[in-house]
Structure 1
Amino acid sequence: MILNIRVDHKTADIKTMESSISTLDDLFLNLKSKCNVEEYISLRTCNRSEYYMVLSDNYLGEIECADFVIEKNEAAMMHLLRLASGLESMIIGEDQILGQIKDAKKKAKKEGSAGIVLDTIFNKAIHVGQSVRKKTQINRGSVSIGSAAVNLAESVHGNLKCKKVLIVGAGKMGTLVAKALVEKHLKAIVVANRTHDRAVCLAKELGGYAIHFDRLKESMEDADVIISATGAPHAILTYEKVKAAVPLERRNSLVMVDIANPRDIEDEVSNLGVKVFNIDDLRGIAEDNRKIRKKEAKEAEKIVENELLLLNRSLKHLKVEPLLSDIRSNMELIRYRETQKALKKLGNINGKEKVVDKLTKSVVDKIFHDIVLNLRKAAENDEEELIKACELLFNNEN
């Protein structure tokens, strides 16, 4: 059984997502202890936390939880294909989710938690995500959480021309914010990151400058916009830090946008008069984006539905791949033995042994081709008795 358990922006606000992450992890560990979890991949972004699992049986017991979405088999796979296509993102069509899915798969493969089933499913999802973006215009223009954060800041200031923007965090989300700011004719772009070298690299691309994290306070003093997107496990811009850094007369004009999960900015900061926004506040921009891309989304959904059929077929083929591998190995062993016998009987054939070898390989390949087609067709049609019969007929070393 394929299982997906998740909490995301569709079912929870940012506060609920933050508090649910540890619960989701506990639920996963509980499943691992009670069920045979053969494979798993964890996926985390700024507005979702998910687990994809392959279980050896269909029994789960009672795992229902109000905060989570739990889907099995085809529904779970459909969600992943839609996710890779940008259809499940808060900002419809955004490209970043595709890279995040690739990274999650790569990490799981490296750690040994992903096997052939999830590898097949995630490879298909990546292919579908690429195909959707190639065949539709769902990702045209500026579509990312980063660009939405910049739009949110502009909705307050009117525009950002001649404004000073401080970006806290030079990771992937910070980079998206930076790219969205390039054409805004800013007075200054300042990048702060715990790893100073990364801040320097990003600042160079933008024509801005980098600061060490311990100089964050002085850069906050005259900033017009602060956009924070770090991977810190706790708030880094606390009430006390902002109060100490930002002069009283500047607080009403300061816009702070938090696109981190967990959040970087404490809720209490808004009590200072600062305009504080987080991922939940991007929903209005996301809805406008959804309306613009409605037509492209429909085309993407058609692609996803067709690809899901192909994915189901591929997964059914996996059931007979071990049998096909055994048959092929046994056929090759027989071919080799009989070829060697024939060559001994033929005696000196003036260096034409390769011709005989090639001939026997060709015969085996042609016979095996038909076996592959028939066994895969039997798997597609769930013809278990026929597959068992083939195991008896072919899978032997005698």
Structure 2
Amino acid sequence: MAFIALGINHKTASVDVRERVAFTPEQLVEALQQLCRITPSREAAILSTCNRSELYLEQDHPAADEVLAWLAGYHNLSLEELRACAYVHQDDDAVRHMMRVASGLDSMVLGEPQILGQMKSAYAVAREAGTVGPLLGRLFQATFSTAKTVRTDTAIGENPVSVAFAAVSLARQIFSDLHRSQALLIGAGETITLVARHLHEQGVKRIVVANRTLERASILAEEFGAHAVLLADMPQELVNSDIVISSTASQLPILGKGAVERALKQRRHKPIFMVDIAVPRDIEPEVGELDDVYLYTVDDLHEVVAENLKSRQGAAQAAEELVVAGVDDFMQRLRELAAVDVLRAYRQQAERLRDDELAKAQRMLQNGSAAEEVLAQLARGLTNKLLHAPSVQLKKLSADGRFDALAVAQELFALDEGPDKRSQ
């Protein structure tokens, strides 16, 4: 048995590579089933966000190279290109990595809370796909429990900080007074919801939410007193927007250089601040070449994020200690499960020997043997049968000089006196 955590993230791969390795929600079930069918993975889950794509696996024997080859083939990447930015964690390290990720310790913004919900979604999808079994299932539950403890027992989640918050902080640096600004938010998912909340708290004059479905945009808009439109209405809204923040699941850019160029002309080249949080990107990179446009991607938010990290470093150390405790507890429970299998097999063997001796005793009684004689024979036979295999193995271990194993046997059978005492 081996646990594997394999993937890429914002520390190891550029947004270019990350968007090519990202899985869409529609791909996940089929990808998981293919992964378990083609590679030696008995259980699997996939976490795919704007900052990371990770595979969590349970295998008979570690086969990370085969999984990397599958991942490269699935996304039409060269294996060399993927291997250059991928990481692989195994067993204890894989458990620790998952717990650190769920606790926000491996995020771009230290302690950000969204990742735990994303990991829970990854687990739910894997269950739907039928690729999570008892071992990976236990690991996910232990991971969620540790992350919850980190949130409850440390200050790592205080003062809400996220990529969404970082984007709004950057807007605040560029526009001295957000009360006079209008914002266009593209998408209506969790990240955009956070952006809308932060902008609303900063007193932005007008917020417009553009989405593929008007119903979802309207729900979000109603919460923050915003205006809902369809993506098709973006060109008109762009003209009046000082801030544009986009985060959708689209596989292709939905805002191109031409549309922004036309909006700038109508704005008389009044600047537009844009943040593209999506992976793959929603805004064509060429938009950044335009004068009067300040375009940032998630990778550009590092400096803003760094400022926010300072208040969380102390809490991070306490969180790391909780993760170590979580790993130790999980691995101990896992080792106990291994003992359960051995104990079950040993009990079944003992019960077979008991049943054999009991059958002999019953035949003796039927043949008229005295009850005392039958009971004595039953006791002798059962004792001899139960001790036979351990006795043979102990003699062999002793002949081979395996005194360490003899010491374990002494402990296993809870014997009061060791060999040295008995020989005196």
* TM bucket, shorter chain: 0.7 to 0.9
Kindly provide the CA deviation profile for residues 193-221 of structure 1, in whole angstroms up to 9, marking residues without a partner as x: 11211100100110111012211111111
Q: Aligned residue for 1:4?
A: 5
Q: Aligned residue for 2:116?
A: 98
Q: Which amino acid aligns with 1:18?
A: E
Kindly provide the CA deviation profile for residues 48-87 of structure 1, in whole angstroms up to 9, marking residues without a partner as x: 1110111111355575811211111111111111111111
TM-score, normalised via structure 1 length: 0.77
Q: Go from structure 1 to structure 2 and tell me whether the alpha carbon gap of 1:60 and 1:99 turns closer, same or farther (over 3 Å shift).
A: closer
Q: Aligned residue for 1:196?
A: 214
On the 8 A contact 1:35/1:60 being kept in 2, the answer is no
**Structure 2 CA distance, aligned partners of 1:111 and 1:244?**
45
Q: Which amino acid aligns with 1:199?
A: A
Deviates more, 1:31-40 or 1:93-102: 31-40
**Structure 2 CA distance, aligned partners of 1:304 and 1:230?**
32
1:308-387 aligned at under 5 Å gives the runs: 308-321=327-340
On the 8 A contact 2:186/2:244 being kept in 1, the answer is yes
Q: Aligned residue for 2:247?
A: 229
Structure 1 vs Structure 2 CA RMSD: 3.1
Kindly provide the CA deviation profile for residues 339-397 of structure 1, in whole angstroms up to 9, marking residues without a partner as x: xxxxxxxxxxxxxxxxxxxxxxxxxxxxxxxxxxxxxxxxxxx99x98xx99xxxxxxx
User: Do structure 1's residue 168 and structure 2's residue 186 form an aligned pair?
Assistant: yes
Q: Go from structure 1 to structure 2 and tell me whether the alpha carbon gap of 1:186 and 1:29 turns closer, same or farther (over 3 Å shift).
A: same
Q: Go from structure 1 to structure 2 and tell me whether the alpha carbon gap of 1:184 and 1:145 turns closer, same or farther (over 3 Å shift).
A: same
User: Do structure 1's residue 54 and structure 2's residue 58 form an aligned pair?
Assistant: yes
On the 8 A contact 2:104/2:115 being kept in 1, the answer is yes
How far did 1:286 drift?
1.6
- Which consecutive unaligned segments of at least 5 residues does structure 2 have? 69-79, 355-404, 414-424
Q: Go from structure 1 to structure 2 and tell me whether the alpha carbon gap of 1:328 and 1:220 turns closer, same or farther (over 3 Å shift).
A: farther
Q: Go from structure 1 to structure 2 and tell me whether the alpha carbon gap of 1:34 and 1:109 turns closer, same or farther (over 3 Å shift).
A: closer
On the 8 A contact 1:153/1:257 being kept in 2, the answer is no
Q: Which amino acid aligns with 2:120?
A: K
Q: Aligned residue for 1:67?
A: 85
On the 8 A contact 2:4/2:89 being kept in 1, the answer is yes
Deviates more, 1:154-163 or 1:270-279: 154-163
Percent of residue pairs bearing the same amino acid type: 35
How far did 1:142 drift?
2.0
Deviates more, 1:217-226 or 1:236-245: 236-245
The total of aligned residue pairs comes to 337
On the 8 A contact 2:32/2:44 being kept in 1, the answer is no
**Structure 2 CA distance, aligned partners of 1:326 and 1:210?**
64
Q: Aligned residue for 2:401?
A: none
Q: Which amino acid aligns with 2:167?
A: A
- Which consecutive unaligned segments of at least 5 residues does structure 1 have? 335-381, 391-398
**Structure 2 CA distance, aligned partners of 1:72 and 1:272?**
46
User: Do structure 1's residue 298 and structure 2's residue 299 form an aligned pair?
Assistant: no
User: Do structure 1's residue 19 and structure 2's residue 20 form an aligned pair?
Assistant: yes
Q: Go from structure 1 to structure 2 and tell me whether the alpha carbon gap of 1:114 and 1:183 turns closer, same or farther (over 3 Å shift).
A: same
Out of 134, 151, 160, the residue aligned to residue 152 of structure 2 is: 134
**Structure 2 CA distance, aligned partners of 1:159 and 1:10?**
33
How far did 1:328 drift?
9.4
Q: Go from structure 1 to structure 2 and tell me whether the alpha carbon gap of 1:263 and 1:325 turns closer, same or farther (over 3 Å shift).
A: farther
Q: Which of the two has higher C-alpha Rg? A: 2
On the 8 A contact 2:167/2:301 being kept in 1, the answer is yes
**Structure 1 CA distance, aligned partners of 2:270 and 2:63?**
56
User: Do structure 1's residue 286 and structure 2's residue 296 form an aligned pair?
Assistant: no
